[in-house]
Amino acid sequence: MTKLIARRLAISVPLLFIVPFLTFVMATLAPGDPARTILGDDFTPEAYQALRAELGLDKSLFAQYADWLRGVVQGDLGTSPVTGLSVSGEIISRVGVTASLVLLTTVVATLIGVGLGVVSALRAGWLAKAVDVISLVGFSFPSFWVGLVLVALFAVGLGWFPATGFVPIDVSPRAWALALVLPITALAVHAIAMVAKQTRDAMLDTLGREYILALRARGIPERSIIFRHALRNAAIPVSTVVGLVFISLLDGTVLVESVFAMPGLGGLVVDATHRHEIPVIQGIVLTFTVVVVLVNLFVDVLYGWLNPKARVS
């Protein structure tokens, strides 16, 4: 168990340094540079040199990286060359939106996905087929498109939910919840499909095992066999998939926040990309990488807790 976590840390910690460094490397490889982008077509060589110095672009790659790292340690991710706002400030003000979306979607998708998966594993026939269809459809429709259709139907058409925006929970819990329903639904379709499929496969695999037969032969009631033994064993692969779902939701929010014009990190990174604001993107990359590392650590701990073969040494 400790070995598992140690290995994960050995991989993750360098990752926190390597990924931002790669963005620096790529930034220097790229044609053009931010100074030129900011100044547009019309600039004097002096202004250009001055801006390069201001942005630190005249220094070596490693020096730029070191500067940036020094800033990160002090909680300073730099400022946006376009808006002049502090990157860390921007991220902190927006992280709540993305966190609400991702966490709630994970919870919703896990509950519904596991439920559907278990039921379809136990009842062959139309329900299993239905789960097949749901998971295929869930895999196939892009979340941003599902989001737009939901807007057309439930916001524009029926007017049940707001079409766009986000309300902080401390302003109005009701408005917060209403604003989240459509984005979460758009994100969850795919996530539910992943969880349901994995749950069903894992349950079917477990129910075919020798020890299930042995439990039946010992007269253990069917309810206990399914919910205590089979589900508990199936939880091992399912927990891994839930971790993957969480990480894929980080990607999903980039699109869904754009659809619903939500002031989250996803929207920020899209805007920053359009404006070539490298420090902002770098800040968000770092944030997402930290989250991915933490989620993976959590999944590893959970996996070890669920699976005695990984835990007991």
Partner 1 sequence: MTYSLTPDTNSARPQRVRFLRSLRRHPLGALALGLLLLLAAGAILADLLAPYDPTATDLGNSLSGPTGSHLLGTDALGRDLLSRLLFGARVSLTGTAQAVATVIAVGVPIGLLAGYLGGWVDRVAGGIIDVLLAVPGIVMLLVIVAIFGNNESVAMIALGVLGAPGMARVVRGSTIAVRNELYIKAARVSGLTTRHVLVNHVLPRVSGPIVVRASLFAGVALLVETGLGFLGFGAQPPDPSWGNMVADASQFVAIAPWMLVPSGATIALSILSFGLLGDAIRDSTAGRARGADRVRRKVAGDAKEPAATPAQPATETPDDSDALLRVRGLTVSVPAATGQADIISDVTLEIRAGETVGLVGESGCGKSMTGRAILGLLPQPVAVTGGRILFDGQDITKLGPRQLQRLRGAQIALISQEPVASLDPVFTVGHQLKEVLLRHQPGSRREIARAAVALLRDVNLREPERVMRSYPHQLSGGMAQRVAIAMALAGRPRLLVADEPTTALDVTVQAEILGLLRRLQRQTGMAVLIISHDWGVIADVCERAYVMYAGQVVEQAPVLDLFDGPRHPYSAGLLGCMPGRAARGDLLPAIGGRVPQPGSWPTGCHFSPRCPIARDDCTRDPVALNETAAGHASRCLYPLLVDEKVFSHDAR
* Contact stretch for partner 1 (CB under 8 A) within 15-23, 54-62, 81-89, 176-184: 15-23
The residues, any chain, with a CB within 8 Å of residue 122's CB and separated by 6 or more, are 203, 226
- Asked if 214 is part of the footprint of partner 1 (rule: CB under 8 A), the reply reads yes
Cβ at position 55, least distance to partner 1 in Å: 14
Q: Alpha-carbon distance 139 to 194, whole Å?
A: 8
**Binders of partner 1 in range 160-199 (CB under 8 A):** 163
Determine contact, residues 273/281, Cβ cutoff 8 Å. Answer: yes
Q: Which is nearer to partner 1, 95 or 169 (CB)?
A: 95
- Assigned token pair, 169: 């929970």
When the beta carbons of 36 and 59 are compared against partner 1, the nearer one is: 36
Q: Is 118 helix (H, G, I), strand (E, B) or coil?
A: helix
- Closer residue to partner 1 (CB): 63 or 149: 149
Residue of 5, 23, 99, 176 interacting with partner 1 (CB under 8 A): 23
Contact (CB, 8 A) for 264 and 97: yes
What span, in angstroms and rounded, lies between the C-alpha atoms of 225 and 116? Answer: 18
Computed from CA positions of residues 282, 268, 258, 293, in that sequence, does the dihedral angle turn out positive or negative?
Answer: positive
CB of 193 to partner 1, least distance (A): 10
CB 196 within 8 A of CB 116: yes
312 lines the binding site for partner 1 (CB under 8 A):
yes
Q: Find the shortest distance in angstroms from Cβ 79 to partner 1.
A: 16
Find the shortest distance in angstroms from Cβ 228 to partner 1: 8
CA distances from 79 to 75, 91, 142, 225, 270 (A): 12, 11, 33, 58, 17
Alpha helices (H) in 123-264, listed in sequence order: 126-140, 143-150, 173-207, 210-217, 222-224, 231-259
Are 191 and 106 a contacting pair, CB within 8 Å? Answer: yes
Nearer to partner 1, 38 or 169 (CB): 38
For residue 86, what are the β-bridge partners?
A: 79
User: Does residue 79 belong to the site contacting partner 1 (CB under 8 A)?
Assistant: no
Q: Phi/psi at 102 (nearest 5 deg)?
A: -70, -45
Token pair 């994995």 is found at: 198
Rounded to the nearest whole angstrom, what is the least distance from the CB of residue 92 to partner 1 in the complex? 18
- Find the shortest distance in angstroms from Cβ 116 to partner 1: 18
With CB under 8 A as the contact rule, the residue among 38, 175, 220, 302 that binds partner 1 is: 220
> Smallest gap, in angstroms, from Cβ of residue 45 to partner 1?
23
Shortest CB 216 distance to partner 1, Å: 6
Per the document, the length of the chain is 313
Stretch that binds partner 1, among 77-85, 98-106, 168-176, 217-225 (CB under 8 A): 217-225
Q: Which of residues 234-293 bind partner 1 (CB under 8 A)?
A: 236, 247-248, 250-251, 254-255, 258-259, 269-270, 272-274, 276-278, 281-282, 284-285, 288-289, 291-293
15 binds partner 1 (CB under 8 A): yes
Interface with partner 1: number of residues (CB under 8 A): 76
Which helix (H) or strand (E) segment is 98 a member of? Answer: helix 87-122
Window 105-164: residues binding partner 1 (CB under 8 A):
136-137, 139-142, 144-145, 148-149, 151-152, 156, 163
